[in-house]
Structures are given as structure tokens and as C-alpha cells.
Amino acid sequence: MGSQYHNISIGKIGCHQDCKTCNGFTSLDCLSCDINSERIYLYSGQCLTKCPDTAPYSFQNYDEYEGIVLSYECVAECPIGYFASNNECVKCNSLCKSCSSNDVMSCLECNNYNKTFANITDFHNIITSPFIYKGMCQTSCPFEGTVLYPD
């Protein structure tokens, strides 16, 4: 009669072998998956080898301080600030709050965007926050004498 032992780490004690961390003992109680195994995608508490059709996009939970991927989560839609590419959620460029690709001209909404309302006599401060022109976030009008109002 053989026993199966697993590496024990913080959050791993008592977890199913597919889980890195968990809140129970079964394969349906995973909170994160071991990214060094073949079951790296977390969906509904379960670690899978690929994301299901109901949540086809893989989103990386990333620790920017440590510079490492903590886990992959299966999602139905990519969160704001990311776009879907080959079933993965990819971060938009830093100027975009939301985007359609990582192309610099693909912003759908700009970061730090605030609508500004101008006094009709104050033409110098009509637009002070970023707005989009041809998919790029702008801080000033690209054409002299043109006033573009954000939606």
C-alpha cells in the first residue's frame, strides 16, 4: 500500500494535489493552481488544463512587485485595461484605460480621463484632460483651430 506525499507549502496543507492554495480538501476547493503543473487554469474552484468554452480567456494574476505570475484565471471577458488575444487577456498600453489591441492607436478610453466643461469665453482651457483621436490618447488638439469635445 503506497502513500502519496505532496510538497507542503503555506496554503497547501490539506489541499488536493491540483491546488496550490485552497479552502477545502477536494479538487473543487482550489483558490489558486500550481503554475508549474499541467493544470494551471483556475475556473470555479477547479484547476484545469485549459479554460472552458464558457470562460475562454486566460487572465494572469501578476505580482508586479515580485515580477512573477501568481496564477491564471479563466474569465468570460477580459477585465478593463485588457483585451482578448488568442484566448488570453493582454494588458493595454499604459495610455489606454481600455483598448481593442496592443497597437498604440487602439485606445477605446484613456487613462486619467475626466470630462471638462469649458466656459464659452475661456477657449484656452477647453480640453485639459486626455481624449481620443484616431485611437490615440491626446492632450491637445492635433489641428490648430479645431475643438474636439469628448463624448
pLDDT tens, 14-53? 888 888 889 988 999 999 998 888 999 999 999 999 999 9
Supply the pLDDT for residue 85: 93
Beta-ladder partners of 85: 88
Tell me the backbone φ, ψ of residue 101, rounded to 5 degrees: -165, -175
Give the pLDDT confidence score for residue 141 in this predicted structure: 64
| Residue 130: band (very low, low, confident or very high) from pLDDT cuts 50, 70, 90 | low
Q: Give the pLDDT score at 3.
A: 40
Question: Is the pLDDT higher at 147 or at 137?
Answer: 137
**122 and 110 belong to one structural domain:** yes
Cell numbers of 19, please?
491546488
Q: What is the pLDDT of residue 55?
A: 96
Separation CA 101–CA 83 (nearest Å) = 6
Q: Are residues 70 and 58 in the same domain?
A: yes
User: Residue 42 maps to which CATH number?
Assistant: 2.10.220
Number of domains in the chain: 2
Let me know whether 135 and 149 are in one domain: yes
60 and 131 co-located in one domain: no
Q: Which of 8-12, 97-101, 111-115 has the lowest mean pLDDT?
A: 8-12
Q: What is the mean pLDDT of residues 111-129?
A: 46
C-alpha cell at 37: 503543473
Domain that holds residue 6: 1-91
* Count of CB atoms situated within 10 Å of the CB of 107: 27
- 74: cell is 479563466
Q: What is the pLDDT of residue 62?
A: 76
The answer on 127 and 112 residing in a single domain is yes
Q: Is the same domain home to 8 and 55?
A: yes
Instruction: Examine the domain organization and report whether 100 and 84 are in the same domain.
Output: no
Question: What is the average per-residue pLDDT within 66-82?
Answer: 88
Other beta carbons within 10 Å of 60: 15
Contact 77, 88 (CB under 8 A): no
Confidence of residue 106 (pLDDT cuts 50, 70, 90): confident
**Which amino acid is it at 22?**
C
Residues 75 and 114 in one domain: no
One domain for residues 78 and 138:
no
Amino acid at 96: C
What's the pTM value of the predicted model, to 2 decimals?
0.66
Name the β-bridge partners of 64: none
2: pLDDT strictly greater than 80: no
Phi, then psi, of 114 in degrees rounded to 5: -135, 130
Count the Cβ atoms, other than its own, within 10 Å of residue 108. 14
